[in-house]
Amino acid sequence: VLVGFVTAWLASQISRPFAVIARDAWLGQALRAAVRQRRIRVHYQPFIDLTDGRVLGVEALCRWKSLRGRPMAPDVFIPAAEHTGAIAAVSRAVFRQSAAQFGEWATQHGAGLTMSINVSAVELCKPAFLVDLTRLAAGAAESGYRLCIEVTETAIIARTDEALLVLSAAREMGVLVALDDFGTGESSLAYLGGFPIDIVKIDLSFVAAVDVDETAHAIVSAIVSMASSLGAATIAEGVERPGQLRALRDLGCDIGQGYYLGRPAAAAGVDWTRRTLA
């Protein structure tokens, strides 16, 4: 059995250059230290109802304030955390902070807001995540906000049966499920329709040119109509200009998120006011 594990581990590492493995190992250690020293912080980015400009909720996005004060992109340190197992500690820190923050916001801004959190593919099917999810869902129910988990299609495809169980459990607990970065993977919405998915987040690579490129426009249009036939709402990621906003509203996309509508910010900097849509 041990030999099997070692072989499997080696095989999984072999495709990654040694320099990347070494860097990730260092990052993993540094991240665990950062969690202990409370240098893992959460920023929040609003998402907006494209029919009336209301802020429906915010997505929690993890930030690492390194000792040198240089910010490092989650696109770099989250994969490193996943490869080294540090993701468990990082996720716990993000879950804890955002739940505490939402407890406050729910009393300030009233009930019905949604807190969206990203769940790593590595974590989704672990028993520990189900424990966290149960606790988070209970906190949300108590404070009167809605919890949403963002998962990627990779996470679902990798462990299909387990993923179905976890996502079904989430639905049972009243937690929304969003499919993050949709369109970047290989799977079709027809296949993913077999899973309890409430929201499809259209990857920003398609949203980027939705107002200027015919192909991008056609892809977004197809995603919106397929999602709606599955009974799922759509969120466009990466809205940076009024032109994109107009195109998305014309296509019937439900919700928008992006720098034009609000950048990720520390809790105190979140703008909760209703947006005026162009």
Residues at the contact surface with Mg ion, assessed by CB under 5 A? 118, 150, 180-181, 237
Identify what 61 binds: ligand C2E, Mg ion, none; CB under 5 to 8 Å per kind: ligand C2E
Token pair for residue 62?
A: 């993890």
* Among Mg ion, ligand C2E, none, partner that 191 touches (CB below 5 to 8 angstroms by kind): none
Give, in order, the Cα–Cα distances in Å from 66 to each of 69, 70, 157.
Answer: 5, 6, 34
Q: Torsion angle of alpha carbons 5, 11, 13, 15, nearest 10°?
A: -170
Q: Which helix (H) or strand (E) holds 41?
A: strand 40-49
For 225-255, b/e burial (b = at least 16 CB within 10 A) is ebbeebebbbbbbbbebeebbebbbebebbb
For ligand C2E, the closer of residues 119 and 245 by Cβ is: 119
| Nearest residue (CB) to Mg ion, 106 versus 117 | 117
| Contact between 13 and 66 (Cβ < 8 Å) | no
The interface partner of residue 73, options being ligand C2E, Mg ion, none and the CB cut-off 5 to 8 Å by kind, is ligand C2E
Binding residues for ligand C2E (CB under 6 A): 45, 61-62, 73-75, 78, 91, 94, 118-120, 150, 180-181, 204, 237-240, 258-259, 264
Q: Is 238 left (phi over 0), alpha (psi -120 to 50) or beta?
A: left
Cβ at position 125, least distance to ligand C2E in Å: 14
In the complex, the smallest distance separating the C-beta of residue 215 from ligand C2E, rounded to whole angstroms, is: 19
Pick from 64, 177, 190: which is nearest to 124 by CA?
177
Residue 31 CB neighbour total at 10 angstroms:
26
> Which residue number, 8 or 266, has a Cβ lying nearer to ligand C2E?
266
- Cβ 1 to ligand C2E shortest distance, Å: 30
- The smaller minimum CB distance to ligand C2E, of residues 114 and 120, is found at 120
Q: Which is nearer to Mg ion, 28 or 183 (CB)?
A: 183
| Rounded least distance, CB 58 to ligand C2E, Å | 12
Q: Shortest Cβ distance from residue 154 to ligand C2E (Å)?
A: 11
Contact call for residues 76 and 70 (beta carbons, < 8 A):
no
Q: Are 255 and 56 in contact (CB under 8 A)?
A: yes
The least CB distance from residue 242 to Mg ion, in Å, is: 21
Strand ranges (E), 135-273: 146-152, 176-182, 199-202, 233-236, 255-256
Give the one entry of Mg ion, ligand C2E, none that residue 86 binds, where binding means its C-beta sits below a cut-off of 5 to 8 angstroms depending on kind.
none
The nearer residue to ligand C2E, 195 or 203, going by C-beta atoms, is: 203
